[in-house]
A = this chain, B = another copy of it.
């Protein structure tokens, strides 16, 4: 694809990083955010070439528009973005839940040039201050087409993903949401609850293990509220499976069943090592 001009809608951690990565690759990047201070920070940090505080002006002349807003904002913005964006441009999002986005994409007049997206990248910090061009390097970037997404659209979106240094992986939206409930959305909940568990007096006794396990708790609450609610059926299913397994091992601990406790820990060790060997 010829990607000369891209517009990033939503200049938080993901949008800001995406802008910076595209700029580094020579793409001219225009940024839009409803929060003027996010746009100012993005401009000041050089994450975008120029800002526009008007959505129509922001997407005019773009070859690609990427929505990096919380899922609820993406759903709200999509009809306008589709209406205002030249039909020659592709439209992509970067939200962590795909079924509601892809369902919305299907209803758009420009559905053929639109595709769902999700970069498996992030950190516990948020906002354009935390953005960095290398955020996507070597990471999976999932592309979830709708029934109306055309092959050229998917190909162009894959090219954009490759420009970011990420690995495009095409998968159906419903598979994405089921897998991510397990690998990302449940872990977020677990980290939040664990962070709430620890008392102020405990702080001198916190080791690196707990710090790693609560890192995700620092993530943006509004973004995560949307993710958990828009994927609630999968998240609730996975949480219930998790709780049942946890109760099982806690029962073995309570019963003093050394053999069973060691058995579960050994299985967890094998699984943990396999996970660490796996790439995202």
Q: Is the CB of A232 within 8 A of B254?
A: yes
Q: Is the CB of A229 within 8 A of B261?
A: yes
**Interface residue A1 (Cβ < 8 Å from any Cβ of B):** no
Q: 0/1 per residue, A166-203, Cβ < 8 Å to B?
A: 00010000001001101110111111111111111111
Cα distance A217–B196 in the bound complex, in angstroms: 21
Cα distance A253–B280 in the bound complex, in angstroms: 27
Q: Determine the main DSSP class of A at the interface with B.
A: helix
Closest beta carbon of chain B to A276's beta carbon, Å: 6
**Stretch of A26-34, A117-125, A157-165 at the chain-chain interface:** A117-125
16 extra A-B contacts, CB within 8 A, seeds A203-B278, A213-B213, A225-B261:
A121-B207, A123-B208, A176-B205, A182-B202, A183-B198, A184-B209, A189-B246, A190-B194, A192-B268, A198-B275, A204-B278, A212-B212, A214-B271, A229-B261, A240-B250, A243-B246
Q: List 27 contacting pairs A-B, 8 Å CB cutoff, sorted by A.
A: A124-B276, A139-B207, A180-B205, A183-B206, A187-B209, A188-B209, A189-B246, A190-B190, A190-B246, A191-B272, A195-B268, A204-B280, A206-B279, A207-B280, A211-B275, A212-B215, A215-B272, A217-B268, A217-B269, A218-B276, A225-B261, A228-B253, A229-B256, A232-B254, A236-B253, A239-B246, A243-B250
A residues with CB within 8 A of B: 120-124, 139-140, 142, 169, 176, 179-180, 182-184, 186-222, 224-225, 228-229, 232, 235-236, 238-243, 245-247, 249-250, 253-254, 256, 258, 261-262, 264-269, 271-276, 278-280
